[in-house]
Amino acid sequence: MTRRGERLTLQPVPEVREIETDDDRKNYQRLVAGSSYAMLQHTLEWRELAVLTTKDEPHYFILQDQGEITAALPMMLRRTCIGNAMTSLSLPAGYGGVIVSEKLDHAEKLAAYRTLLNAAVEVARANDCVALSICTPPFRQVVELYEPLAPEYQTENFFQYTALRSPRFHKSTRWDMNKAAKAGVEIQSVTAMDEVLKIYELYVERMRSVGGGAALPRQLVENLFRCIQQKHIECRIAYYQGQPAAGLILLRYNKVCDYYLAALNHELRSTCAMTYLVGRTLADYEAAGFEYWNWQSSPSRRCGTYAFKAKWGTAEGKHYYLTKILAKAAFAELKLDEVKQEFRWFYIAPYTAFRGGEAYATKNKYSFANREADFPSMVLVETANVCNLKCPHCPVSYSEIKHTPSFMDLELYKKVCDEVAANQSYLRITGDGEPLLHPQAAAMIRHACASRLPLLSMNTNGVCLEGEVIEAIMGVTGTKVIIDVSLDAIFKSSYQKIRLGSDYERVMRNVFELLSQRKRLRRKNIFVFASIIDQPEAAIELETFRRFWEEILDRVITRSYVDWKGLVSKTKQASNFVKDRWPCLLLYRRVTIGAEGQLRFCADDFMRESTVESVAAKTIKEIWQGSKMNKIRELHQTGKFTKVHPCDTCKDWEVLKWDYDYQVAVDAVIRGKQ
Ligand code: SF4
């Protein structure tokens, strides 16, 4: 308030408008360069990239005070046949939001946020936008400043980062880096587009082979190198004997390096080139004065991508997606599949906000493909329920298991095998016993290979992996064959403690004979895996086991130790029994057919408590789609685990991860080899 007689001085009110002139552009770039809130995505280079790649319409709001731009909010508008929307995120990793001059005090900052957000909302409304969204940047906890937006949706997302000045890498990364260096892997920074595109092609191939999400478009990568100044972007390639083995595309700005795109040549993965490339690049960026390496987000904290990043001593940060709905009725009409099509790389709201979004989210969360609603993607067949070993980690070695020793009838096996082949699913010979003890094991392998199965996988302890069995495996077939040998130790001394009753030399001889025959006969359809259980007796040799067999075989599988519902009880298995429990993936992906023909919904059920029905009179498909299976799935999906036995007392579900299980490993190997 002004007292009477006091002279009134009018302070100029900051003006809000959109960037128009060359002077505006210069002043805007000056603001970006001087703001610690700013990221590469705020620059005008990024705007050029977005316009060139998406054809979206830029609306860059600025707040000007006495000729100086003190705050800004860059936004993009997309017009589509299902409605228009405005966002700060119109490209992958398109973080954005308000940036302010460092000169503003807190009250001025708050006022700047309010003014810019109101201006953006007004323009979005004038352009018939159904919603306006903002993705706040990482490393800057500013979500409270967006209160004036009053968003209907506020979604938290995590990202992983490594603080470059105090990295704490897992020791395996050092080993892998040394291995790559000894193998002669060399790193180069490349600028030529044809070299960059080699990395892009590797990335696309890798995404395809592991069944990852949609790859970034090639045009985006080309435009990145066209629009972004060289000092803000780098492509590094690790070469092995002249071939690109791994590559990275990095964005760098304001002391942060963003891990934008990574590509691995699967054929050369044993060179550890990716680890070497990342390790060397982290060190170089730290030496160049960068503070953070932003690994960005991962699909979940349980996936392999998250684990790979975690090896680099990552911490987690969070940022937010905020959505203001501007036209409620029109927004409510939006269907998710149409939104995905019209608003690619353009964030509007969480998927669950749209029609069909809840169902998609459930399916996506658990990777429940449509095909699996029809038929299990893998059928486990227990051809024998007897074993020649007495391993301490296996319930079959304990007296609680009292079922009658039996071998599956060959005709029943053929019926199962033919149905699996007709549905183009995977068949895995495994179960509670050693499959190669079956007197007709070789005939079973031959039948599977003749039945047009896409994949036959067999688990064995390797003792009887010889003679007629190897001949059957080597038969010419279009079926891919995986022989998965449970070795469980690398050294003879520990092997003898874990694989009681086995013969170390014989098993080794058999594995190497299998490999030698495969090489001699050039059988590219045969893959050999070795597996080890992470149990106390083998704990110190896990890494040696992995490193040794990865050089020789196609895949090393490390299995978590489970107590098989208490049958084996020396366990220190995690006890996260109820909290965050998820529906068991076995119910959606696999079934087991026991030696007597009973279909069990649980592959880990040594006590036969999950028996549903016999496949002698019904097909697997009928039982899989039947009311009993659906009821069990429904109980899991609604969290009523205690109403399903043996799931009510089970802890084994914890090691069954939706985004990484045996089938993912199998797919990665067989597709990567194609
Ligand atoms: S929750 Fe346990 S008992 Fe139930 S299907 Fe999964 S592993 Fe088997």
Among 20-29, 132-141, 202-211, 368-377, the least confident range: 368-377
User: Does ligand 1 come within 6 angstroms of the Cβ of 489?
Assistant: no
Given a contact cutoff of 8 angstroms between Cβ atoms, the answer to whether 484 and 531 are in contact is yes
Averaged pLDDT, 273-301: 90
CA separation for the pair 378, 662 (Å, rounded): 10
User: Does ligand 1 come within 6 angstroms of the Cβ of 586?
Assistant: yes
Read off φ and ψ for residue 364, nearest 5 degrees. Answer: -70, -40
Structure confidence at residue 575 as a pLDDT band (50, 70, 90): very low
Averaged pLDDT, 330-345: 92
Read off φ and ψ for residue 402, nearest 5 degrees. Answer: -120, 15
Q: How far is the CA of 87 from the centre of ligand 1 (A)?
A: 43
Give the model confidence (pLDDT) of 66-125 as tens digits. 888 999 999 999 999 999 999 997 777 667 899 999 889 989 999 999 999 999 999 999
Give the model confidence (pLDDT) of 430-456 as tens digits. 877 899 999 999 999 999 999 989 999
Averaged pLDDT, 613-629: 93
Q: How far is the CA of 646 from the centre of ligand 1 (A)?
A: 7
Mutate to test the pocket of ligand 1, among 560, 578, 584 (most ligand atoms within 8 A of CB): 584
Given a contact cutoff of 8 angstroms between Cβ atoms, the answer to whether 452 and 479 are in contact is yes
CA separation for the pair 556, 606 (Å, rounded): 25
CA separation for the pair 455, 478 (Å, rounded): 9
Q: Is 640's pLDDT higher than 50?
A: yes
Nearest one of 387, 404, 414 to 500, comparing CA atoms: 387
Q: Which residue, by CA, sits nearest to atom 7 of ligand 1?
A: 653
CA distances from 447 to 128, 267, 413, 423, 444 (A): 63, 31, 9, 16, 5
CA separation for the pair 281, 444 (Å, rounded): 51
Q: How far is the CA of 602 from the centre of ligand 1 (A)?
A: 5
Residue type (1 letter), 9: T
CA separation for the pair 481, 454 (Å, rounded): 9
User: Does ligand 1 come within 6 angstroms of the Cβ of 654?
Assistant: no
- Please report where in the chains the tokens 């009053």 appear, as a residue: 150
Q: Which residue, by CA, sits nearest to atom 1 of ligand 1?
A: 647
Count CB-CB contacts under 10 A for residue 536. Answer: 11
Q: Is 51's pLDDT higher than 60?
A: yes
Mutate to test the pocket of ligand 1, among 642, 650, 656 (most ligand atoms within 8 A of CB): 650
Q: How far is the CA of 273 from the centre of ligand 1 (A)?
A: 38
Among 39-48, 199-208, 650-659, the least confident range: 650-659
Read off φ and ψ for residue 501, nearest 5 degrees. Answer: 95, -5
Q: Which residue, by CA, sits nearest to atom 5 of ligand 1?
A: 602
Averaged pLDDT, 565-591: 67
Q: How far is the CA of 656 from the centre of ligand 1 (A)?
A: 9
Terminal-residue alpha carbon distance, the chain: 78
Give the model confidence (pLDDT) of 358-406 as tens digits. 766 665 655 555 556 689 989 999 999 888 888 888 877 766 666 778 8
Q: For residue 174, what are the contacts with CB-CB under 8 A and spacing of at least 6?
A: 279
Q: Is 509's pLDDT higher than 80?
A: yes
Strand (E) positions, 292-405? 292-296, 315-325, 378-382
Q: Is 659's pLDDT higher than 80?
A: no
Structure confidence at residue 574 as a pLDDT band (50, 70, 90): very low
At 100 the three-state DSSP class reads: strand
Structure confidence at residue 571 as a pLDDT band (50, 70, 90): very low
Averaged pLDDT, 126-134: 96
Give the model confidence (pLDDT) of 92-106 as tens digits. 766 789 999 988 998
CA separation for the pair 461, 445 (Å, rounded): 16
Q: Is 279's pLDDT higher than 50?
A: yes
Given a contact cutoff of 8 angstroms between Cβ atoms, the answer to whether 90 and 101 are in contact is no
User: Does ligand 1 come within 6 angstroms of the Cβ of 647?
Assistant: yes
CA separation for the pair 303, 316 (Å, rounded): 15
Q: Which residue, by CA, sits nearest to atom 8 of ligand 1?
A: 602
Structure confidence at residue 660 as a pLDDT band (50, 70, 90): low
Read off φ and ψ for residue 346, nearest 5 degrees. Answer: -140, 110
CA separation for the pair 115, 70 (Å, rounded): 12
Give the model confidence (pLDDT) of 555-569 as tens digits. 888 887 776 666 665
Give the model confidence (pLDDT) of 316-326 as tens digits. 998 899 999 99
Q: For residue 252, what are the contacts with CB-CB under 8 A and spacing of at least 6?
A: 40, 231, 232, 233, 234, 258, 285, 290
Averaged pLDDT, 630-649: 88
Return mean pLDDT, the chain: 87
Averaged pLDDT, 513-538: 91
Averaged pLDDT, 178-207: 91
Given a contact cutoff of 8 angstroms between Cβ atoms, the answer to whether 94 and 296 are in contact is no
Sheet containing strand 590-593, strands side by side = 555-560, 526-534, 480-486, 455-460, 426-430, 378-382, 590-593, 598-600, 611-614
Mutate to test the pocket of ligand 1, among 652, 654, 662 (most ligand atoms within 8 A of CB): 652
User: Does ligand 1 come within 6 angstroms of the Cβ of 652?
Assistant: yes
Structure confidence at residue 588 as a pLDDT band (50, 70, 90): confident
According to DSSP, the β-strands at 68-80 and 99-100 are: antiparallel
Read off φ and ψ for residue 252, nearest 5 degrees. Answer: -140, 135
Averaged pLDDT, 488-494: 92
At 74 the three-state DSSP class reads: strand
Portion of the chain with pLDDT greater than 90, in percent: 54
